[in-house]
Chains A and B, each alone.
Chain A
Amino acid sequence: MKLHVCCCFIFFVALGCQSESPKQEQDAAVSFKKFPLNLNGGYRTNYVKGEPVKFIINQSGDTVKTGVPLGIKGKILATVSSVKPAVLKAGVGHSEQLITNTYLLRGQMIEKPFDPVLIEKPYDSSATVQLDIHPRKVNFKQPDPVKALPLRFKDNARFNIQYLDVEQGLGSSYVYSILQDSRGRLWFGTDGAGVNVYDGQYFIPYTEKQGLTNNVVSVVFEDSKGKIWMGTQHGITIYDGKNFYQITKEMGLLNDEILDIMEDGKGNIWIATLKGAYKLSGAKLSIYTVKNGLVSDNVRAIMEDEQGKLWFATDRGISVFDGQGFIEYHKTNGLVSDNIFCMLKARNGDMWFGSTEGICSFDGRKFRHYFKHQGLVSDYVWSFLEDEKANIWIGSYGGVSRFDGKSFVNFTKEEGLSNNGVRQLIKDRNGNIWWGTDGGGVNMLRTGSFVHMANHPLSQRKIRSMIQDRNGVFWFGSDGNGISSLKDDKLTNYTLADGLPIMGGRALLEDRKGNLWIGYDGKGVSKYDGKYFTHYLLPGGMEMNIIRSIAEDNSGNLWFGTYGAGLLKFDGRQFLQFNEKDGFSSDRIISLLIDSKGNLWIGSEGGGLSKYDGKKFTHFSEKEGLPSNKVFSLAEDSAGNIWIGTAGGGVCKFDGSHFTYLTEHEGLSNNNVWSIKEDHKGRYWFGTDNGLTLALPRGDEFDLYRYGVEDGLKSADFNLRTVWEDGEHRIWWGMGKGLSYLDLDEFNLPEDLLNLQFSFLTINGRAYDFRSDISAREKISFSDIPVFSRYPLGLTLPYNQNHLTFHFAATDWQAPHQIRYSYRLKGLDDKWSTPSPNALAEYRNLSYGNYVFEVKAMSREGTWTTPQTYFFRILPAWWQTWWFRALELLLLATLISLFSRYIYLNKLRKQREAMERQLALQYERQRISSEMHDDIGAGLSGVKLMAEMAGAKIKDEEERNEVLRIYQSLGAISSRMKEVIWSLNVENDDLPSLVSFIQKQARQLMEAYPCELTVVLPERIPDIEIDGESRRNIFLLVKESLHNIIKHSRADKVSLSIACSNELLITIRDNGHGFEYPSKLQTGNGLRNMKRRIEAVHGRMQVISDHGTTIKLGIPLKQYL
């Protein structure tokens, strides 16, 4: 057994530490907690904080009564006449036009009617050069992936424009072409660094080293078969997902500088070069030049229209080829320029042409020209793109323009571009616009995202308050910049010079008369009627004049919330004060709200929420169900619910009877909620200390979306109540730095477009290219590798290639930073890993066996993709194989068997030796008994006989008696000896012999006495072996008993009965006068001997003395079996 344990231990050591198991955990389904308003008893524990609810304690240390209406009477603080407000004539402020990127089409519209005098040239097919092209397969080896760092914003970015450049791992800052392939990955054709394939996690750089014909890549194109065509400064490289194939000048091309590649409806590939257009039809290459009718050999772009006509853009105008002949369009026909670089066929049928001298559209009848002076970002245009809203996007040397038919929205470095030299524009599946730049890497513009205030001093200020007045003018109060108004990009700033008492404004309100009320930090409140500022500085010091909120009730009373002096009511004549001393919950008022029923709601710091119905105040605290007693923001939604934004308790909806909590636990960005806004679509926006949360109502619950700086926010901290939705469906927020807005008409909720794919696999730290790596084939086997994949099918690894890292990537450009991955390795652990942003899974020391790796990705919306699975196998080492294990077991079994046999034989030998000793002993006993019997016994008999004879001869009586005593002694010795011989003789070693001997000896003994002996024997005596010692003890017990009877009892009747069952029961009964027992037993030698003997045979002895004596001897027979 020990040996077996030892072997097991060796096995474990050999197997070693098998794996590291990733932490396993799954997201629990979010449920929104709903707490009834508790006015009886109240809650004891705060759900959000997980601690006992806080009661409201006022400055005097008393607990404020909550949950019950309280009749708090305010006291008159001051009257208008006592305040003596200062009236100042308002200045006009300082106005300036904000720099904007929107330009209404301006200047004279240039329209040129189409001059129908067209140059038509017949197609001269005889001049077409025909070549047989057999692309050359090159030794291709996958490069090592380069880790891609996240997309970044330029500091001044006004729009959600992010960039990828060399600092994030891109091969070059000059990116001439972009492609999103059918698998969702982006291909960047660079100047000098070949093609970089990007999946959000890594760049795969394909360069001349891998077999690219040249590292300057002007076009990347995916054909209908999924092959990637890479057109370079010198030749074309085709990648079919497995190998690279080159088409080079040596094959007969007139020129190998490639400018465009496209596929026509017939499956022909057209290639634009500096010397003609090439059509590749299978292996046949046809070259089209001026010789057979093309307008110029310098072809920049090729396009096919619905009729199957091919449009060639050249440095000398446009050629349109219908298979029969060419038609030319020139500047003389109305084209904006003859030097055309790009073309677009819009969905409305218009053709667009981009040149070095502006752009034009052509509807078949007339050309419309657009230039920089009309709003176009630049006249030097490289590319076009049309979006789903039919906007035309123009990529130029001056940035990007978006044209909706009326105005240009321009994106330049001012808006956040990394470079204004924009080459190719593409739109990804999420609707983002990507472009490559000349020196700034790649840019991605997320449309429908946050827009920030133009580069203006105000954009660096903290915006404290915000309203839009009845004229559509925005008013802001900012820290240090006074009050500003904004309309139509005209910003007017009011400062001390214009009549402000301080360079800030913490609270703003437009009253029903159209007056603007401004609350200050320490300077009371002002009324601005457009002409005059009326300043009210209230008595009671600083605290009385820190105004954080203003509200107007349905009766026209104004309510001011002070930070330190409670609530003020102003009816136009006098100020009434409600503070803690009067029973109000707190003197630090943060928010005021008049609901649609006319109730005043008051949120305070530490005093919870209070409701004033015009007569009485009711305070609500954590005890009644509020998530926190620090209430910062208040809002009423369209359904009449009161929304309460708190510090530390998230936000909650109060419908009058229940509080519904939205906290970090449910997915809120942060538990400090500073602003609440319900938009015109009934969605809720919460500004927090850590970004913005959008809540989409879904029944009683909500879908939450979080937005942070990665999503285009300028900063993540939102300010108190500074939120407004304007009439153009834009939500404005006052931020830690400036203003931001979101155009809700442009804004789209993210779609589930996650495309999860395996990218590459490393084994023992090495990213193998299984197709070309010969050394990989030596150790690793697999059946096939799917195209464009680096994960071979049926991967089988040797035992020591067991450190695997799976790399995967979900391509989604909506919120790549919010993608979460979860994975598991079946065969090791069936539990999914904790969702994490890391797009890799590492397993070390995998044991041999079959495995299934599964990974899934979760989008921002919280939906998981279907898991991607990958099967592989690790072979056992020779010492782990079944045959070795079998051999090992066999060896073990043999060892155990030999060992057992050794033990068995040893035991057997010992048994035999013991038996031999026993036999020898028995033989010795037998011999002794026999000799005693035959020699000594016979001799004794002889001596006894002689003594008897001698006695008979002696006449003298005394002498004769002496001889007679000798004779009697000899008789006694002889008798004793017989007993000894009997007990020694092994032939008597059984129960029948014992019983027989007892009854015989009993009879002989009793013969000499006048006593009648009755013997009762059992019918059947079991043939049980009893050793000589025991026999002697049992026999002597009976003999002693009989002797006692003879000596002491004076009985004339004795019965000896022997019975056999589980024990040998011997009963000796006499009818004598009995004797005292056990006293005799203890004193008399005879009985003491009997006791010793009965103990020696593990038996029991019972003596009953009643009209005679009965001795019962019970000897268990079990011990002899």
Chain B
Amino acid sequence: MISISIVEDNEQFRKALETIIASQQDMVLVDSYPDAEKAVEGIRMSAPDIVITDLSLPGMQGFELMFKLRTASVNTQFLVCTIHDDDEAVFEALKSGASGYIVK
């Protein structure tokens, strides 16, 4: 089973992602967070396999989130799911430790 956490401030999209994950046999949704700060705490505790995160988040940017969790030695993979489709954002996300990148 792949444990997944979601960090997404847009409710519609978060709900859509939760629905997709819940419908998958081999995936389990550990938790979903509307903001980054709560997400850092929760993910450190739960340490899911994959974190799907947005880049634009209230309080903290997705890049920072990834950076904080990696420095806290949380062994998890990051999948960036964002509306930003420019090369710069993709490159920056990958540099920050993202393993994948999905444009909304």
Contacts and interface: CB of A to CB of B under 8 A. Distances in A.
B23 interface: yes
Return the 5 tightest CB-CB contacts between A and B, nearest first.
Answer: A942-B13, A942-B12, A941-B104, A938-B10, A945-B16
Interface of A: 933-935, 937-939, 941-943, 945-946, 949
A949 B12 CA distance: 13
B35 interface: no
Contacts of A946: 12, 15-16, 19
Given A943-B12, A946-B12, A938 B104 contact: yes
B90 to A, nearest CB: 13
A934 B19 contact: no
Contacts of B54: 938
B19 A938 contact: no
A1095 to B, nearest CB: 31
A941 B104 CA distance: 6
Nearest to B54: A938
Contact of A937 (B11, B15, B19, B104): B104
Contact of A941 (B11, B20, B83): B83
B3 interface: no
B7 to A, nearest CB: 13
B56 interface: yes
B20 A945 contact: yes
Interface residues of B, number: 17
B83 A937 contact: yes
A945 B8 CA distance: 14
B11 to A, nearest CB: 8
A942 B10 contact: yes
Secondary structure of the A side of the interface? helix
Given A933-B83, A937-B104, A943 B16 contact: yes
Nearest to A930: B56
B17 interface: yes
Contacts of B9: 934, 938
12 contacts: A934-B9, A934-B83, A938-B9, A938-B83, A939-B13, A941-B13, A942-B10, A942-B11, A943-B16, A946-B16, A946-B19, A949-B16
Nearest to A943: B12
Interface centre among B8, B17, B104 (most CB of A within 10 A): B104
A937 B20 CA distance: 19
B20 A934 contact: no
A945 B52 CA distance: 15
Contact of B19 (A935, A939, A949): A949
B10 A934 contact: yes
A942 B15 CA distance: 8
Contacts of A937: 83, 104
B20 A938 contact: no
A949 B23 contact: yes
Contacts of B23: 949
Contacts of B12: 938-939, 942-943, 946
A949 B20 contact: yes
A84 to B, nearest CB: 153
A981 to B, nearest CB: 9
Contacts of A941: 13, 16, 83, 104
Contacts of B13: 938-939, 941-942, 945
Contacts of B14: 942
Contacts of A945: 13, 16-17, 20
Contacts of A949: 16, 19-20, 23
Contacts of A935: 10
A938 B52 CA distance: 14
B2 to A, nearest CB: 19
A933, A939, A942, most chain B CB atoms within 10 A: A942
Contacts of B8: 938
Q: Most chain-A Cβ atoms within 10 A of its Cβ — which of B8, B12, B14, B19?
A: B12
Contacts of A943: 12, 16
Interface string B71-83: 0000000000001
B83 to A, nearest CB: 5
A945 B10 CA distance: 13
Contacts of B20: 945, 949
Interface in B66-102: 83
Nearest to B103: A941
Nearest to A932: B83
Interface in B1-35: 8-17, 19-20, 23
A207 B12 CA distance: 131
Which of A935, A938, A945 has the most CB atoms of chain B within a 10 A radius of its CB? A938
Given A937-B83, A949-B23, 19 more contacts: A933-B83, A934-B9, A934-B56, A935-B10, A937-B104, A938-B9, A938-B13, A939-B10, A939-B11, A939-B12, A939-B13, A941-B16, A942-B104, A943-B16, A945-B13, A945-B20, A946-B15, A946-B16, A949-B20
